[in-house]
Amino acid sequence: MGDDAPTALDLPPVDPLPEHTQAYFDLCAEKIGMVPNVLRAYAFNIAKLDAFSAMYNELMLADSGLSKLEREMIAVVVSSENRCYYCQAAHGQAVRELSGDPELGEQMVMNYRAADLSDRQRQMLDFAVLLTRESASVSESHREALRSVGFSDRDIWDIASVAGFFNMTNRMASATDMRPNREYHSRNR
Amino acid sequence: MGDDAPTALDLPPVDPLPEHTQAYFDLCAEKIGMVPNVLRAYAFNIAKLDAFSAMYNELMLADSGLSKLEREMIAVVVSSENRCYYCQAAHGQAVRELSGDPELGEQMVMNYRAADLSDRQRQMLDFAVLLTRESASVSESHREALRSVGFSDRDIWDIASVAGFFNMTNRMASATDMRPNREYHSRNR
Amino acid sequence: MGDDAPTALDLPPVDPLPEHTQAYFDLCAEKIGMVPNVLRAYAFNIAKLDAFSAMYNELMLADSGLSKLEREMIAVVVSSENRCYYCQAAHGQAVRELSGDPELGEQMVMNYRAADLSDRQRQMLDFAVLLTRESASVSESHREALRSVGFSDRDIWDIASVAGFFNMTNRMASATDMRPNREYHSRNR
Amino acid sequence: MGDDAPTALDLPPVDPLPEHTQAYFDLCAEKIGMVPNVLRAYAFNIAKLDAFSAMYNELMLADSGLSKLEREMIAVVVSSENRCYYCQAAHGQAVRELSGDPELGEQMVMNYRAADLSDRQRQMLDFAVLLTRESASVSESHREALRSVGFSDRDIWDIASVAGFFNMTNRMASATDMRPNREYHSRNR
Amino acid sequence: MGDDAPTALDLPPVDPLPEHTQAYFDLCAEKIGMVPNVLRAYAFNIAKLDAFSAMYNELMLADSGLSKLEREMIAVVVSSENRCYYCQAAHGQAVRELSGDPELGEQMVMNYRAADLSDRQRQMLDFAVLLTRESASVSESHREALRSVGFSDRDIWDIASVAGFFNMTNRMASATDMRPNREYHSRNR
Amino acid sequence: MGDDAPTALDLPPVDPLPEHTQAYFDLCAEKIGMVPNVLRAYAFNIAKLDAFSAMYNELMLADSGLSKLEREMIAVVVSSENRCYYCQAAHGQAVRELSGDPELGEQMVMNYRAADLSDRQRQMLDFAVLLTRESASVSESHREALRSVGFSDRDIWDIASVAGFFNMTNRMASATDMRPNREYHSRNR
* pLDDT tens digit sequence for D26-51: 999 999 999 999 999 999 999 999 99
Number of residues written out for chain D: 189
Count Cβ atoms below 10 Å from residue C45 Cβ, excluding itself.
19
Chains D and A in direct contact, meaning 3 or more beta-carbon pairs closer than 8 angstroms: no
- What integer best gives the mean pLDDT of chain F? 97
At residue A4, the pLDDT reads 87
Contact C111 A136 (CB under 8 A): yes
What is chain C's mean pLDDT, rounded?
Answer: 97
- CA A71 to CA A81: how far, in whole Å? 16
Q: Is A97:B135 a contact under the CB 8 Å cutoff? A: no
Q: Is B111 on the interface with C (CB under 8 A)?
A: yes
Neighbours of chain B (3+ CB pairs under 8 A): A, C, D, E
**Partner-chain contact F160 E175, CB within 8 Å:** yes
* Residue B121: predicted pLDDT: 98
Which chain A residues are within 8 Å of F139, Cβ to Cβ?
113
User: Hey, are the CB atoms on E139 and D113 less than 8 Å from each other?
Assistant: yes
Phi and psi at F129, nearest 5°, equal -70, -40
Q: Quick one: average pLDDT of C131-160? A: 98
Q: Given an 8 Å threshold on Cβ–Cβ distance, is A164 in contact with B168?
A: yes
Alpha-carbon span A166 to E62, nearest angstrom: 43
Binning pLDDT at 50, 70 and 90, where does residue B4 land? confident
Name subunits touching E (3+ CB pairs < 8 A). Answer: A, B, D, F
Q: For chain B, say whether E113 makes contact (Cβ under 8 Å).
A: yes
Average pLDDT of the segment spanning A23-28? 97
Q: Check if D63 contacts C (Cβ < 8 Å).
A: no
Percent of residues, chain B, with pLDDT higher than 70: 98
- For residue A45, the chain B residue with the least C-alpha distance is B154
The pLDDT of F166-178, averaged and rounded, is: 98
* Out of A10, A62, A136, closest to residue B47 by CB: A62
pLDDT at E3: 64
Question: CB–CB of B51 and A55 under 8 A?
Answer: yes
Chain C CB within 8 Å of residue A141 CB: no
CB contacts of D111 in chain E (<8 Å) are 136
What gap in Å lies between CA A169 and CA A84, rounded to an integer?
9
Look at residue F34 and tell me whether its pLDDT is greater than 70: yes
pLDDT band at E4 (very low <50, low <70, confident <90, very high): confident
Contact E11, F157 (CB under 8 A): yes
The answer to whether A136 contacts chain C (CB < 8 Å) is yes
Cross-chain Cβ contact B160/A153 below 8 Å: no
Per-residue pLDDT tens over the stretch E52-83: 999 999 999 999 999 999 999 999 999 999 99
pLDDT tens-place string over residues B76-89: 999 999 999 999 99
Q: DSSP assignment, residue E1? A: -
Q: Which residues of D touch B108 (CB under 8 A)?
A: none
Average pLDDT over residues B169-176: 98
What per-residue confidence (pLDDT) applies to F184? 96
**Chain-chain contact of C47 with D55 (C-beta, under 8 angstroms):** no
Quote the minimal CA–CA distance from A141 to chain C in Å: 13
* pLDDT of D165 strictly over 70: yes
Partner D contacted by F103 (CB < 8 A): yes
pLDDT at F1 over 50: no
Instruction: Read off the pLDDT band of D131 (50, 70, 90).
Output: very high
Q: Which of D151, D155, D168, D170 is most worth mutating to test chain C (most C CB atoms within 10 A of its CB)? A: D168
Query: Residue F152: what pLDDT?
Result: 98
Count Cα atoms within 13 angstroms, Cβ side, for E49: 21
CB contact, 8 Å: F114 with chain D?
yes
Q: What is the mean pLDDT of residues F28-35?
A: 96
Asked whether residue A1 carries a pLDDT value surpassing 50, the answer given is: no
Report the residue of chain A nearest B154, measured CA to CA.
A11
Indicate yes or no: CB of D83 within 8 angstroms of CB of F110.
yes
More confident residue, C32 or C2: C32
**In chain F, which residue's Cα lies nearest the Cα of E137?**
F174
Task: Check if the beta carbon of residue F112 is closer than 8 Å to that of residue F77.
Answer: yes
pLDDT at E1: 43
Query: Using a CB-CB distance cutoff of 8 angstroms, which residues of chain D are in contact with residue B111?
Result: 136
D181 inside 8 A of chain F by CB: no
For the segment E25-45, what is each residue's pLDDT rounded down to a tens digit? 999 999 999 999 999 999 999
Q: Is A47 at the interface with chain C, CB within 8 A? A: no
Q: At what angle do helices D153-176 and D85-99 cross, to 10 degrees?
A: 130
Contact B80 C111 (CB under 8 A): no
- Exposure of D90 in the CB half-sphere (CA atoms within 13 A): 22
Question: What are the pLDDT digits (tens) for D166-175?
Answer: 999 999 999 9
Inter-chain residue contact C186 with B189, CB threshold 8 Å? yes
Over residues F138-154, the mean pLDDT reads 98
Model pLDDT for residues B12-66, shown as the tens digit of each residue: 999 999 999 999 999 999 999 999 999 999 999 999 999 999 999 999 999 999 9
Whether residue D171 and residue C8 make contact (CB cut-off 8 A), yes or no, is no
The pLDDT tens digits for C54-107 are 999 999 999 999 999 999 999 999 999 999 999 999 999 999 999 999 999 999
Task: Determine the average pLDDT of the residues in A130-147.
Answer: 98
Average pLDDT for C34-38: 97
pLDDT at C4: 86
Residue D171: predicted pLDDT: 98
Q: What is the pLDDT of residue E186?
A: 94
The closest CB to that of C103, out of B80, B106, B185, belongs to B185
Q: What percent of chain D has pLDDT over 90?
A: 98
CB A167 to CB B169 under 8 A?
A: no
Task: Judge whether residue A121 has pLDDT over 70.
Answer: yes
Mean pLDDT throughout E117-136? 98
Nearest chain F residue to A115 by CA: give it. Answer: F139
Binned at pLDDT 50, 70 and 90, residue B3 comes out as low
Average pLDDT value for residue range F82-101: 98
Crossing angle of helices C46-60 and D46-60, rounded to 10°: 150
Band (pLDDT 50/70/90 cuts) for residue C3 is low
B118-123 contact pairs (CB < 8 A, 24+)? B119/B149, B120/B149, B120/B150, B120/B151, B121/B70, B121/B73, B123/B149, B123/B151
Residues with Cβ within 8 Å of residue B55, at least 6 apart in sequence? A51, A52, A54, A55, B165
CA dist list (Å): A156 to A64, A66, A167, F90: 11, 10, 16, 52
Q: Is B148 left (phi over 0), alpha (psi -120 to 50) or beta?
A: alpha
pLDDT exceeds cutoff 90 at D2: no
Contacts 24+ apart (CB under 8 A), F133-137: F133/F81, F135/E82, F135/E83, F135/E84, F135/E170, F135/E171, F135/E174, F135/E175, F136/A111, F136/A113, F136/E82, F136/E83, F136/E84, F136/E174, F137/A113
CA C187 – CA F166 distance, rounded (Å) = 56
Residue B96 has pLDDT above 70, yes or no: yes
Q: Give ipTM to 2 decimals.
A: 0.97
Residue count (chain E): 189
**Closest chain B residue by Cα to residue C87:** B110
pLDDT band at D4 (very low <50, low <70, confident <90, very high): confident
pTM metric for this prediction? 0.97
